[in-house]
A and B are shown apart, each in its own frame.
Chain A
Amino acid sequence: AQSVTQLGSHVSVSEGALVLLRCNYSSSVPPYLFWYVQYPNQGLQLLLKYTSAATLVKGINGFEAEFKKSETSFHLTKPSAHMSDAAEYFCAVSEGNTDKLIFGTGTRLQVFP
């Protein structure tokens, strides 16, 4: 069965610094991978998704993620953090031809001025 592990429940960065949120997956078949973001007091929304078309995926708000099969990773990055990026970020995986989505435990990103 598929699963994801997000290392670090909390990440703090200064405004303008690099953002790196880690996600490792486990899947018996080629996975489809997703990052969702939950801003304070809002619902979850899709940030970006990997569908095997390209290993480097660009999402909204300057975020991107790289699929590395050898490392079973799908880490989320942004070159320069903005105060508005403060939110909780969830990595998710779906497997094969099923749409069942399994989420990680989330990483809360704090951005300091």
Chain B
Amino acid sequence: GAGVSQSPSNKVTEKGKDVELRCDPISGHTALYWYRQSLGQGLEFLIYFQGNSAPDKSGLPSDRFSAERTGGSVSTLTIQRTQQEDSAVYLCASSLASGGWNTEAFFGQGTRLTVV
């Protein structure tokens, strides 16, 4: 597709259930990012994939959060045993990853997660 695609756009789940959020990056982009946007919290870095390198998971808030990227393309962010504080908009972005100076991250529209 032309841009970063995220699905679903909205997800309402019950506390304690697991959820999977999907991201389809722009074709050819080797870097992929997940961020969480909460009211008043800005964009919180979660995880970063760069080509075949080990992902930078330093932003994942707890071991209930995990992400994978299959075949260097599609990524799935999984939240296990969801809690109310997990409610937020989860944003995915991708970039060409040409080494810092040319980083322009293209963002998807996000998945709004509501835990009830």
User: Could you tell me which A residues sit within 8 Å of B by CB distance?
Assistant: 6, 9, 32, 34, 36, 42-46, 49, 51-52, 90, 92, 94-106
Contact = CB atoms under 8 A, between A and B. Distances in A.
A51 B41 contact: no
Contact of B107 (A43, A102, A106): A43
Interface residues of B, number: 27
B18 interface: no
A98 B98 CA distance: 9
5 contacts: A43-B91, A90-B43, A100-B56, A101-B93, A105-B43
A44 B91 contact: yes
Contacts, number: 72
A94 B43 contact: no
B80 interface: no
B45 A99 contact: no
B107 A44 contact: yes
Given A32-B101, A99-B100, A104 B107 contact: no
Given A51-B101, A101-B33, A104-B42, 9 more contacts: A43-B107, A92-B43, A95-B100, A99-B31, A99-B99, A101-B105, A103-B45, A105-B43, A106-B42
A94 to B, nearest CB: 5
Contacts of B41: 105
Interface centre among A44, A95, A96 (most CB of B within 10 A): A44
B100 A98 contact: yes
Contacts of A100: 33, 45, 48, 50, 56
